[in-house]
Structure 1
C-alpha cells in the first residue's frame, strides 16, 4: 500500500478519523456501563475519554500491524458521532485483520451498525485488499452475534470459558469472512 485509501461513506454515514469535537459524544457512550458490558474496557472517565480521542485524532488508518485503530462512525449529513469501529491488522500477517464496533445506545436499532460494518468490510477487502477479516464477540452479546451474521460473517469457533472477563470465565465466538467470499457476494 503506497497510499492510504479514503475511508468509506454511505448514504447515511461516514467513517473518518476521530476529531476533538467528538469528545462529548464519545465520553458519554464510553462512560455507559451498558456499553462497556461486553467490551474489554470498563466505563471511561472523562480524562480517559479525552486522552483516547487525542490519541486517535489524526491516526493513520489502518495503523501499523498489531496496533488497534478506532475509526469514528459519524452521520454523513451532520457529522454527529454515533459510535466507533476498530481495525487491527495482524502483526505477523498484515493481510489478516480483526474488527470491532461500538455504538451509542441512542443510535442502536436503526441499522447504523450494519451499515458501518458493511462499509468497513468493503474498505478492508476492496481498498486494503485483505485476505481475511475476523471478529471476536462474547457469546452472550446477542446483538453482536446477530450483527456479524447479518453482514455475512461466518461463525468459525466457539471457545468455551476461553477468557477471564470481568470476574468470570467467558465464552467467545469467532466470526470471519474471506475476501473471495466478499467478492462473490458483492461483485
Structure 2
C-alpha cells in the first residue's frame, strides 16, 4: 500500500494529487497534438480533459494491484502544473511496477521530467517495496527513451510492429531498472540531488 505524504518536494517541483484548480494547466497538456502523439489517447477537448481530471483526482494512493498513482507535477516558483508522473502497481506477487510521465511541451528540455520521474522511482522502490520498474515508449519518441536512460534504466526489448498504433504498425522500446540498481546509482549521487520532504 502506498499513501505518500503530500506534497512531495524536490528542488524545483511539488508532486501531489490532481485538484479541480488544475483543469486549465492539464488541458494545455492534453490538447497539444505533439504531446499526445505517442500516447494511447487522442487530443482532448475541454470536456475530455475534465473527465480525465476527475479520474486522476481519485488516483492519489495505491491500495491494490493494477492501480495507478497519478501525480501532478507543479513548479514551486509559479504554482503551474507542467506535467504528470504515473506509477502503476503491476504485480504484488512479483513486486513489479511501471513508470510513466507526460509533460507540457513548453517545459521540455529543462530537466523537470527527470526530477519528477526520480520521485516516481523512489516511491516505487523505497515506499512500495518494488523489485523492478519498467517503462515503455514508441521507438520514435527519442526524448522519452533518452530520459529513461538518464534515469539509469536499461533497454530490455525492442518490439517490432507489435501493435497497430493510431492507424499504423507501431514499435515499442521497453526499459527497466531493479531496486538494487536504483539503490547503487543513488548511493553515489550527491545529497543535493535527492528529494526532500
Q: Is the 8 A contact 2:157 2:174 kept in 1?
A: yes
- The answer for the alignment partner of 1:5 in structure 2 is 4
Aligned partners of 2:58 and 2:31: how far apart in 1? 23
- The answer for the alignment partner of 2:88 in structure 1 is 88
Aligned partners of 2:92 and 2:124: how far apart in 1? 17
SS in 2 for 1:72: strand
CA RMSD of aligned residues (A): 1.6
- The answer for the alignment partner of 2:174 in structure 1 is 174
Equivalences, count: 186
- The answer for the alignment partner of 1:151 in structure 2 is 151
Comparing 133-142 and 59-68, the one that deviates more = 59-68
Using a 3 Å threshold, how does the CA distance of structure 1 residues 94 and 53 change in structure 2: closer, same or farther? farther
State the TM-score, normalized to the length of structure 1.
Answer: 0.93
Using a 3 Å threshold, how does the CA distance of structure 1 residues 16 and 180 change in structure 2: closer, same or farther? same
Using a 3 Å threshold, how does the CA distance of structure 1 residues 33 and 63 change in structure 2: closer, same or farther? farther
- The answer for the alignment partner of 2:62 in structure 1 is 62
- The answer for the alignment partner of 1:163 in structure 2 is 163
| 1:68 CA drift (Å) | 2.8
- The answer for the alignment partner of 2:115 in structure 1 is 115
| 1:92 CA drift (Å) | 5.8
Aligned partners of 1:64 and 1:92: how far apart in 2? 8
1:184 lines up with 2:176 in the alignment: no
Aligned partners of 1:53 and 1:100: how far apart in 2? 17
Q: Is the 8 A contact 2:38 2:138 kept in 1?
A: yes
Aligned partners of 1:19 and 1:99: how far apart in 2? 21
Q: Is the 8 A contact 2:87 2:124 kept in 1?
A: no
Aligned partners of 1:25 and 1:62: how far apart in 2? 24
- The answer for the alignment partner of 2:41 in structure 1 is 41
| 1:91 CA drift (Å) | 4.6
- The answer for the alignment partner of 1:16 in structure 2 is 16
Using a 3 Å threshold, how does the CA distance of structure 1 residues 94 and 69 change in structure 2: closer, same or farther? farther
- The answer for the alignment partner of 1:98 in structure 2 is 98
Cα distance per residue 1:108-136 (max 9 Å; x no partner) = 11110111111211121112211110001
Q: Is the 8 A contact 1:5 1:128 kept in 2?
A: no
Aligned partners of 1:93 and 1:4: how far apart in 2? 19
